[in-house]
Amino acid sequence: MSEQTTKHLELWADSFHEGDWAVRHVASILAGQGVRASVSLLKGFIPEYVFRGSGTDVRVTVFGSYRSWSPLPQAIADVLEWGKPDLILYDPTSKRIIFSVEETAAVPTGNQALQRCERMYGALRVSVPFWYLITEFGKHVDGGVRRDSIWPTVMALKLTRARRTPCVVLHYSDADNPEDYGVGKGLDALFRCLAGVVANAAKGLSPLNGMEEPLAAQFTDMLNFVKAQWSELVDFMPGSDSLDAPDLPRLYARTAMNHPPNADQWPANFLIWPRFPELPKAVRANQKGRALIKKDALCALLENDITEKRAYGLSNKTGSRPQPGDSIAAWITQQKKMFSKGVVLEPRAEYTVAASDFPESKSGLFHVTTAKNIVYLYDRWSDVQEAIETAFPRLAGKLAGMDRSRPALVYVSNSLKPGRIFGDPFTGQIAAFATIFGRFDPEPRYVIAYFPHQAYTQAVVGDEDRSNKGLTLMRELTDLLLFGGGVAVSLQTNEVL
């Protein structure tokens, strides 16, 4: 057949194994529809599949190991700035990404649970459909079995609606077969979508043509998963009564296909975390500030604001992961050194974190956790501002210009190790929490990130360092960063306050 009648697609992958694995699954699905696949190896190692059915031939070339290739297509380079998805299907003719996939073999638990969420955000911000294949049940290092967190799924639901693009979490495995790709619907559902895209290409149709049914089924599973799991993690889920509303999966599917329903067809305030007075009565009654594990002036005020009903937290189920004393001492030394290389600040700021601040745990390690909450949802920015200026008087008068009545989210990361906050899992946490708790809601929240143990100088970089994934993400998703010693940084304006 001539070159003109062949549609060419490229499957880019983190490794050749993943790329080839994916196309072989697609070939197996399409074989059931009468499409024959042949494979050859370009240069002795680049798999190239040709799918031949009743329409145009489709040629899919697999490129593993993104960064090994040049020139890397610009659309792919742009997505990689936000983290590397495992698979990207790319149309070299239109120079557009058709969809991207993240897949993971293990259940990330604890603060790792959100570690890939920045990739989800990175794809959706440029309206690239994203499928996240993750095991629902995984083996933990303690030998037990853990179930996936709800947050990636909630984030995917919110991004789908905000971006009118599919963002889907697919689960595989079950409690008896943890981490088994062959169990559950996820793997098959993923490759059926990919096969559908290839079949559409052969017919000259748009990539997501005919995907409403499979998407509705996938959103049904996502909503059911959230319904089954949310109370294990949080005390309150807005719209929980509507999670099994019969029409809801179809509303998501249509929205994902860029045919959104009228706003009044959605359940009211679904997955929108409200202001304090609109919380259920029992949840309001349970909101009380808690003692800190390690002292911190600002976190103490944030906890007090919960007691005073100016803010609320999400759950009482978070824990602490103490660290060795020698690591803490070494990290403080490095932080001080970085802090001292900063600009001259007015009023003066000092990095005062000391090893003696960190209380010893029963095991002889030392707690770095301040508050047990890492997310505070405030009704008004003015209350956050007051807490910040009380804890750090040097910032008084420097935080003007923001809308005082707008709701805000304060995210706290207690990490002490230099540089950690710009990598996994913290970038994923910020991407997920900012998305889930309101940055794109009809009444958007400010996002404030507080790093009590980190030196601000890490966020102040020259143009040559701007490719850092964490900074890219924080520049887009946060309004203010607060660091140890009470120094604030706005990444949008590159101002140090």
Residues making contact with other proteins (CB under 8 A)? 8, 10, 14-18, 21, 41-45, 48, 61, 63-65, 68-71, 73, 86, 92, 103-105, 141, 181
Longest dimension (CA), the chain: 75
Type and span of the H or E element at 333: helix 325-340
Type and span of the H or E element at 197: helix 186-203
Give the other-Cβ count within 10 Å of 263's Cβ: 8
Type and span of the H or E element at 99: strand 96-104
Minimum distance, C-beta of residue 211 to other proteins, in the bound complex (Å)? 25
Q: Which of 258, 296, 475, 283 is nearest to 374 (CA)?
A: 296
Q: Pick between residue 140 and residue 290 the one whose CB is nearest to other proteins.
A: 140
Minimum distance, C-beta of residue 168 to other proteins, in the bound complex (Å)? 19
Residues contacting residue 282 through CB under 8 Å, at least 6 positions apart? none
Cα(299)–Cα(316) distance, integer angstroms = 16
Cα(173)–Cα(215) distance, integer angstroms = 20
Minimum distance, C-beta of residue 276 to other proteins, in the bound complex (Å)? 41
Minimum distance, C-beta of residue 95 to other proteins, in the bound complex (Å)? 10
Minimum distance, C-beta of residue 31 to other proteins, in the bound complex (Å)? 19
Residues contacting residue 304 through CB under 8 Å, at least 6 positions apart? 289
Q: Pick between residue 179 and residue 476 the one whose CB is nearest to other proteins.
A: 179
Q: Pick between residue 91 and residue 357 the one whose CB is nearest to other proteins.
A: 91
Minimum distance, C-beta of residue 120 to other proteins, in the bound complex (Å)? 16
Beta bridge partners, 57, equal 6
Q: Pick between residue 59 and residue 398 the one whose CB is nearest to other proteins.
A: 59
Compute CA distances 362 → 192, 295, 355, 359, whole Å: 51, 18, 17, 10
Minimum distance, C-beta of residue 380 to other proteins, in the bound complex (Å)? 43
Half-sphere exposure at residue 397, Cβ-oriented, CA atoms within 13 angstroms:
3
Minimum distance, C-beta of residue 451 to other proteins, in the bound complex (Å)? 26
Q: Which of 389, 393, 373 is nearest to 381 (CA)?
A: 389
Minimum distance, C-beta of residue 421 to other proteins, in the bound complex (Å)? 22
Compute CA distances 221 → 129, 157, 163, whole Å: 18, 12, 20
Pair 303, 290: CB distance under 8 Å: yes
Q: Pick between residue 84 and residue 161 the one whose CB is nearest to other proteins.
A: 84
Q: Pick between residue 6 and residue 209 the one whose CB is nearest to other proteins.
A: 6
Q: Pick between residue 140 and residue 404 the one whose CB is nearest to other proteins.
A: 140
Type and span of the H or E element at 26: helix 16-31
Q: Pick between residue 4 and residue 70 the one whose CB is nearest to other proteins.
A: 70
Dihedrals φ, ψ of 238, to 5°?
-65, 125
Q: Pick between residue 109 and residue 269 the one whose CB is nearest to other proteins.
A: 109
